[in-house]
Amino acid sequence: MYKITVIPGDGIGPEVMEAALYVLEASNLEFDYINAKAGNECFKRTGTTIPDGTISTAKNTDATLFGAVTTVPGQKSGIITLRRALDLYVNLRPVKSYEGTQCLFDDVDFVIVRENTEGLYSGVEEYTEDGATALRVITRKASERICRFAFEYATKTQRRKVTAVHKANVLKKTDGIFKETFYKVAENYPNIKLEDFYVDATAMYLITRPQDFDVVVTTNLFGDILSDEGAGLVGGLGLIPSANIGEKNGLFEPVHGSAPDIAGKGIANPSAMILSTCMMLNYLEEYEEAQKLENAMVTVLREGMVVTPDLGGSASTMEMAREVKKKLKES
């Protein structure tokens, strides 16, 4: 039995989490769910966006499922705090076309490996007389381990190429270190093709020739932006899952936010949350169960009969979840 920390969050987080856990009931695995709190609603009740108890629980379970949280100005980000506390240095975001969705291309299948602990998200900011400054932190250690993860992931999943994305022509020292480290790590993987592009060129190439990409490794902010661009290629944020992975812990969450404008309406797309549970199952090395769940999800999307409004249907969140669970049981 696996112990799983469950953090529904707020907004549509609890709705998509309920859907994902409902679908998981049809798997052949047993889970012990431990509920924990984070987000704006948690702040209102406790005075903090993420209690120490939530962090402790996440550290001591097999994996964490995270829904979505609302972070208002002046609050610390619950998810960023959790990533740092667990040293989840990898943010893995697959971008894949699914039949039946409003994807711009039907043959996109690449993965963004985003460094998750530093860069402009290091949180070192201060006001000045004229405005404010932010410190961009790039270290050789973080660059090496994220690049190594990208090549190891490519090897393990039989992908052919790793692309480094940076802006070393302008950010000569910080991205210079990232680029230099990428090529140094690449020496250990002679069978994998490699290339590097500036981030602005990459943004264009994702639109004009996304099929050329396989594994993309990049720094924190660039990875965040490019993964949202990738979502636009394949039908929106409601279809993009993610994994946050460290040496000892894994946390799995949809890329979409808390969407407070539709919270409580029962129409949130559960696909990204369900696909995030697939990533969790792969992390737990339950590969067969992960594939069965993904196949069930893909079948529902392809048929397009019981899907939420953003996917062109009229189903509720839980109606779509029930359809996915039905397909999973049939498998």
Return d(Cα 222, Cα 293) in angstroms, integer: 30
DSSP state of 220: H
Average pLDDT of 148-155? 98
**pLDDT for the residue 282:** 97
Return d(Cα 135, Cα 123) in angstroms, integer: 8
Return d(Cα 233, Cα 110) in angstroms, integer: 11
**pLDDT for the residue 123:** 80
| CA 274 to chain CA centroid, nearest Å | 12
As given in the structure block, the two tokens for residue 185 are 């790590």
Mean pLDDT of the chain: 96
Residue 185 neighbours by CB distance under 10 Å: 23
Options 44, 200, 212, 287, the catalytic residue: 200
Residue 155 neighbours by CB distance under 10 Å: 14
With both helix axes pointing from N to C terminus, report the angle between 174-186 and 140-156 in degrees, rounded to the nearest 10: 40
Share of the chain above pLDDT 70, in %: 100
Which domains does the chain show, CATH number per domain? 1-91+236-331 (3.40.718.10), 104-109+117-233 (3.40.50.2300)
**pLDDT for the residue 287:** 96
**pLDDT for the residue 190:** 97
pTM, two decimal places: 0.94
**pLDDT for the residue 73:** 81
Residue 58, H or E segment: helix 52-59
As given in the structure block, the two tokens for residue 197 are 């592009």
Return d(Cα 319, Cα 149) in angstroms, integer: 37
Distances (CA, A) of 85 to 58, 120, 291: 10, 18, 30
With both helix axes pointing from N to C terminus, report the angle between 287-303 and 317-330 in degrees, rounded to the nearest 10: 120
pLDDT digits (tens, 9 = 90+) for 38-86: 999 899 999 999 999 999 999 999 999 999 998 888 788 889 899 999 9
Tell me whether residue 167 is one of the annotated catalytic residues. Answer: yes
Options 224, 292, 310, 325, the catalytic residue: 224
Tell me whether residue 10 is one of the annotated catalytic residues. Answer: no
**pLDDT for the residue 196:** 98
Whether pLDDT at 331 is above 90:
no
**pLDDT for the residue 302:** 97
pLDDT digits (tens, 9 = 90+) for 208-252: 999 999 999 999 999 999 999 999 999 999 999 999 999 999 999
Could you tell me which residues are beta bridge partners of residue 92?
A: 113, 243
At position 92, the amino acid (one-letter code) is L
**pLDDT for the residue 76:** 85
**pLDDT for the residue 292:** 98
Whether pLDDT at 265 is above 90:
yes
Options 161, 189, 228, 326, the catalytic residue: 228
pLDDT digits (tens, 9 = 90+) for 83-96: 999 999 999 999 99
Average pLDDT of 287-310? 97
Options 89, 98, 121, 283, the catalytic residue: 121
Query: Where are the extended beta strands (E) located within the chain?
Result: 2-9, 31-35, 63-68, 90-96, 109-115, 125-127, 132-134, 161-166, 193-198, 215-218, 241-245, 250-254
Options 37, 167, 292, 325, the catalytic residue: 167
Tell me whether residue 107 is one of the annotated catalytic residues. Answer: no
pLDDT digits (tens, 9 = 90+) for 163-221: 999 999 999 999 999 999 999 999 999 999 999 999 999 999 999 999 999 999 999 99
Say if CB 23 and CB 323 are below 8 A apart. no
Distances (CA, A) of 273 to 17, 29, 165, 229: 7, 18, 27, 19
**pLDDT for the residue 148:** 98
**pLDDT for the residue 122:** 82
